């Protein structure tokens, strides 16, 4: 194995990657007249003009709100690293016009973006763009295809599907439930499209799961909740939420396939 293969196969550690990003963002260069400057200083200088700032006056205030400490020496969790990556990506993206005016900032910003790219590739994640900016999501080709089906018809639902795959949404059962309800509402009128087809069982399974995990009633017990589901832990419940999401996703993609199949049959009949 050569050195390039060894480097490509290395496992990344959240603490190490976090420290590198902090060092890049806070690293100072000589500005002249005994003054120094960092990329964070450049961003702070234009922060009042950036949409991400809301009412915050400094980047440090934003970091505090997000519960991110740049001084953490060890034990950085993946969640903290991903939050920091999202923040840096959006700060750099929104401040790029000001960063370009600085002699040293653009090269530092590029290295940060490249480092984050490696982190996402190594952890099987990618960027997704929403109205407010960029978020990190799990790589899910099926979701990407379904979003393409929905974007023109239901842009809000497409954004919800992007959000469901967001790495920082893990553990947020309330928000996942809300998104699943929206997906269930969208697929509910498709009953007649699946009836009598080879995919009828798939649609039936989706209806069963929506009732079984009781998302419409927020696990109040008013739904058709199986006895086994009543003793689920939060993790088990989230696992079933994720399975239900995948089934509803498959329903949306299959509906597209059914429509195309009908068009093909019509084309075949037209040849006779």
Q: Quick: pLDDT tens for 87-124.
A: 999 999 999 999 999 999 999 999 999 999 999 999 99
In this model, does residue 219 exceed pLDDT 60? no
- If you count DSSP H runs as helices and E runs as strands, how many of each does the chain have, helices first? 13, 4
Quickly state the pLDDT bin for 225 (edges 50, 70, 90).
low
Of the given ranges (69-78, 128-137, 163-172, 209-218), which has the lowest mean pLDDT? 209-218
What pLDDT does residue 164 have?
93
Quickly state the pLDDT bin for 131 (edges 50, 70, 90).
confident
C-alpha torsion angle, residues 113, 118, 122, 123 (rounded to 10): -10
Quickly state the pLDDT bin for 85 (edges 50, 70, 90).
very high
pLDDT above 70 covers a percentage of the chain that reads 94
What pLDDT does residue 272 have?
58
In this model, does residue 218 exceed pLDDT 70? no
Give every CB contact of residue 62 below 8 A, 6+ residues apart in sequence. 52, 53, 56, 87
What pLDDT does residue 5 have?
67
What pLDDT does residue 264 have?
78
What pLDDT does residue 79 have?
94
What pLDDT does residue 61 have?
97
Q: What is the DSSP string of 105-127?
A: HHHHHHHHHHHHHHHHHHTTEEE
Give every CB contact of residue 229 below 8 A, 6+ residues apart in sequence. 212, 213, 214, 237, 240
Q: Average pLDDT, whole number, for the chain?
A: 88
Mean pLDDT of 11-33: 91
Beta bridge partners of 32: 35
Mean pLDDT of 23-33: 88
CA–centroid distance for 95 within its chain: 22
CA distances from 161 to 4, 96, 184, 242 (A): 37, 28, 12, 12
What's the farthest any 2 CA atoms get from each other in the chain? 86
What pLDDT does residue 224 have?
59
Does the global pTM surpass 0.85?
A: no
Mean pLDDT of 26-30: 91
pLDDT above 90 covers a percentage of the chain that reads 61
Spatial CA neighbour of 180 closest among 105, 263, 260, 237: 237
């Amino acid at each position: 194995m050569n050195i390039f293969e060894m480097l490509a196969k290395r496992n990344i550690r959240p603490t190490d990657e976090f420290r590198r990003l902090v060092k890049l963002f806070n690293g100072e260069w000589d500005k002249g007249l005994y003054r120094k400057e960092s990329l964070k200083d450049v961003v702070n200088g234009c922060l009042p003009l950036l949409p991400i700032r809301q009412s915050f006056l400094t980047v440090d205030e934003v970091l505090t709100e997000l519960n991110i400490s740049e001084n953490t020496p060890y034990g950085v969790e993946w969640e903290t690293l991903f939050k920091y990556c999202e923040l840096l990506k959006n700060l750099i993206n929104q401040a790029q016009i000001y960063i370009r005016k600085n002699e040293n900032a653009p090269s530092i910003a590029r290295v940060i973006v490249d480092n984050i790219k490696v982190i996402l590739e190594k952890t099987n994640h990618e960027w997704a763009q929403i109205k407010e900016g960029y978020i990190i999501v799990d790589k899910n080709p099926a979701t990407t295809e379904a979003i393409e089906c929905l974007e023109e018809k239901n842009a809000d639902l497409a954004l919800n599907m992007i959000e469901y795959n967001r790495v920082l949404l893990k553990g947020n059962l309330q928000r996942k439930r809300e998104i699943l309800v929206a997906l269930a509402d969208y697929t509910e009128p498709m009953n007649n499209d699946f009836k009598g087809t080879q995919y009828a069982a798939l649609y039936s399974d989706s209806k069963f799961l929506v009732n079984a995990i009781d998302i419409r009633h927020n696990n109040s017990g008013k739904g058709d909740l199986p006895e086994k589901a009543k003793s689920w832990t939060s993790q088990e419940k989230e696992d079933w939420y994720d399975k239900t999401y995948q089934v509803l996703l498959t329903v949306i993609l299959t509906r597209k396939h059914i429509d195309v199949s009908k068009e093909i049959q019509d084309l075949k009949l037209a040849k006779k």
